[in-house]
Amino acid sequence: MLKKIEHVAIAVSDLDDALNHYRDVWGLEPDHRERVEDQGVEEAMLPLGDSYLQLLGSTGPETTVGKFLERRGEGLHHIAYEVDDLEATLADLKEKGVRLIDEEPRPGGRGHMVAFVHPEGNRGLLVELIQAPRHA
């Protein structure tokens, strides 16, 4: 059901500043940067081995990440698991009574479909399920 950790997402107050930090301190460079308007985020993907670090900035104080930063400050925001079949995974979790933020897959960054699992009911961890675009 779960294939791998696709990315670990870190909320940051200033994306450009954070990218400088990750370049200067860790030697990591982004290979993708994108604003996902309906999620209220601007994200940068830094390849690391077979996965990514995702730096997550907010597009404003009223967004989910904006509120997170206000409440908790910068730091770990969520972990994304790659799955083969997002619909089937959501159906399985529903059957197990796990609380979902997204009942249905929705478009995320990089043309992927995503859905979030509520941290309540998952031992305090916000999880993003992610399915890569299918190539014909």
State the Cα–Cα distance between residues 53 and 94, nearest whole angstrom: 28
Tell me the site size for Co ion, rule CB under 5 A.
3
Catalytic residue among 6, 39, 42, 43: 43
* Residue whose C-alpha is closest to residue 4's, from 83, 118, 98, 96: 83
- What are the E-state strand segments in the chain? 2-11, 32-36, 41-48, 51-58, 75-83, 106-107, 113-117, 127-131
Q: Which is nearer to Co ion, 93 or 130 (CB)?
A: 130
CB of 136: closest distance to Co ion in angstroms? 25
Evaluate whether 67 touches 61 at the Cβ level (below 8 Å). Answer: yes
Within positions 77 to 96, which residues make up the interface with Co ion, using CB under 5 A? 80
Asked if 126 is part of the footprint of Co ion (rule: CB under 5 A), the reply reads no
Q: Which two tokens stand for residue 66?
A: 């904006």
Within positions 9 to 38, which residues make up the interface with Co ion, using CB under 5 A? 9
CB of 45: closest distance to Co ion in angstroms? 9
Instruction: With contacts defined by CB under 5 A, name the span among 60-68, 84-92, 97-105, 122-130 that binds Co ion.
Output: 122-130
Catalytic residue flag (residue 39): no
Asked if 128 is part of the footprint of Co ion (rule: CB under 5 A), the reply reads yes
Binding site for Co ion (CB under 5 A): 9, 80, 128
Active site residues: 7, 43, 54, 78, 128
